[in-house]
Amino acid sequence: MSDDVEAPIAVETPSGDSPPPSGNGSGGGNGSGPGGAAPGPAPADGTPAGGRKRASKRALVEWSVLIVAAIVIAIVIKTFLFQAFYIPSASMEPTLMIGDRVLVNKLSYDLHDLHRGDIVVFAAEPNAQWHRAGIDDLVKRVIALPGETITQCETNRVCIDDKLLDESYLPKGVVTTIPTTLPYINSTSGKKVLVCDDVGPKGSPVGGCKVPAGKVFVMGDNRTNSQDARANGPIKESSIVGRVFVRIWPFNRLGLL
């Protein structure tokens, strides 16, 4: 009995021809022949060249933005918030030594009143008797506030409104002298200049100074080696740059002031 189904007939493919297309439509061969495109060599890191260029440009833009932002922030901080100053003289020793570096808070007196005992940096130029060639800013301690009267009392001590001033920030035995010429000082031209309220029952005593409104009386802690308000008169409050609040150099003397 014979089958109704014919046996399949095998067809031989010539040796030089390509194999028939596959069922997925991809065609025969590996694409390296005439019908396909040969892929180029891949980058060593596997990233296309165009991608590397875009990444480099993006990194350049990001770093540029960061640098500009850092510069702007530094300018804002120096102009409105904090500024570093170098101590060039011995007038504030032993509190501040030559070569010390300090930070000044420029916002302090926008937030609270000036306090006696504060160490301040102020501009020399607005204070006529203080301005000297080559000196722009000075650092001193606030001793008397507007309307207060400073005199010498007891054994070379300071009195404010006839009360002994506690100056615990000074080493023991420090001698403070107040010129008997106050409320006048001798100007650079040799003339006497009134720098405090005039002498009178409600004014300055002879050998003392009633601090005028809008000014403060400042002195250096090194009382025997400081050109301060005793020689130059009180300074304008408006000339104060800010309050010295921390020593940042040298590191072995780092600390608040």
What are the residue numbers of the active site? Answer: 91, 140
Reference 78, options 99, 106, 46; nearest CA is 106
Phi, psi for residue 194 in degrees, rounded to 5:
-75, 120
- SS3 per residue for 232-249: HCCEEHHHEEEEEEEEEE
Say how many C-beta atoms besides its own lie within 10 A of residue 118's C-beta: 21
**If phi over 0 gives left and psi between -120 and 50 gives alpha, with beta otherwise, what is residue 162?**
left
HSE on the CB side for 6, CA within 13 Å? 3
> Cβ distance 178 to 151 under 8 Å?
yes
Alpha carbons 182 and 175: distance in angstroms, whole number: 18
Angle at 116 between CA 125 and CA 141, to 5 degrees: 45
Kindly state the helix (H) or strand (E) to which residue 209 belongs, with its residue range: strand 209-210
Q: How far apart are the first and last CA of the chain?
A: 119
Alpha carbons 130 and 190: distance in angstroms, whole number: 15
**If phi over 0 gives left and psi between -120 and 50 gives alpha, with beta otherwise, what is residue 214?**
left
